[in-house]
Structure 1
């Protein structure tokens, strides 16, 4: 896709805070944004945390996706589900796995330009300790399956972050205990007063 993939800091931070809240679990969620076609590409503007327990049974997933879909359709301006994110509980794992691929395929049926973001725990540790590199692998759908997007020598072809420093913002939100305040769909099932859309989390 000529326009590539770009993301605001909000969805990236929500995905990272989701993982930080449940460090011993695999977590996942969906990405919301706009598909501008070949010219403008996909712009990810928000993320919705879904699960942190054993990756989901089909009925729970379908209910969660239906609720998110109803939310985006109620918004104006063409907001839609444009991708999936996942962090594996095992250190250094950067593969979607069977369940992740099934969910990403499910979303790809709705939005052909959809992507997946994998949180790379090794890159995350490096980012927190010393450098700014985004701790995400961008995975895109190719004719032979989901593959990590190839980045050329000039850095083109990967995920582009729009906005401020993800590292600085993440450390600020960590110090403010924001990772304890984020809610996912698993928690919403236990207590419906917990809003898994997290509209005010980073306000």
Structure 2
């Protein structure tokens, strides 16, 4: 099984965690799963406060699922609240199981390892888990290219985390785009 995360979603995951350094954050992975390969092309930040299984996030799942852009929800990402916390979050597992039930296929969980953000975000900091047919979670690695790490580092240096809008922000201010089109343009411009 291989997991590939493009530069833009990789940077968005890191920036979402940097925006809320003392809170757990959650989001959706968008892309395609073909055979033993999952390619993540985009992410949608969901939450930094609420439980990712709250009714408002059920609405977010429905909105993102119905979006006619050709991308499927292939999993969930999260960053733990505590700096050195690692391992599968029970909340992320429940959200991934919900996504797997909707899709009828295994879901992927990408975890940000907060402790690896030290040093200007220039280190690989994502790990991955994927469920199998028996419901067990297997840990997989995600390799980032140097271009991806450079993109993440430059985005963090430019403090683009201030531009991240998650679904909870959207509920507070409906004109806010939780799909983060402006952020994507800023990240690509940073590199």
TM-score range with shorter-chain normalisation? 0.7 to 0.9
Of 120, 129, 147, which residue of structure 2 is paired with 1:139? Answer: 129
Separation of aligned partners in 1, 2:104 and 2:11: 23
1:94 pairs, out of 86, 92, 111, with 86
CA contact (8 A) 1:26 1:53 kept: yes
Alignment of 1:19-98 (within 5 A): 19-38=17-36, 41-71=37-67, 74-76=68-70, 79-98=71-90
From 155, 160, 166, give the equivalent of 1:184.
166
Q: Which residue of 1 aligns with 2:188?
A: none
Deviation at 1:202, TM superposition (A): 2.6
TM-score between the two structures when normalised by the length of structure 1: 0.82
TM-superposed deviation, 1:164: 4.9
CA contact (8 A) 1:28 1:86 kept: yes
Q: What CA distance in whole angstroms lies between the structure 1 residues aligned with 2:38 and 2:74? A: 7
Q: Unpaired runs of 5+ in structure 1?
A: 150-157
* RMSD of Structure 2 on Structure 1 (CA): 1.9
Cα distance per residue 1:37-74 (max 9 Å; x no partner):
24xx1110001000000423531121010111111xx1
TM (norm. structure 2) is 0.87
Contact in 1 for aligned 2:46/2:60 (Cα 8 Å): yes
Question: Within the alignment, does 1:159 sit opposite 2:142 as a pair?
Answer: yes
Residues 114-159 of structure 1 show CA distances to partners (whole Å, capped at 9, x for unaligned) of: 211000012222x537x53x1011111132522322xxxxxxxx22
Runs of 4+ in 1 over 6 A off after TM superposition: none
Gaps of 5+ in 2: 186-191
Pair member with larger Rg: 1
Give the total of aligned pairs.
183
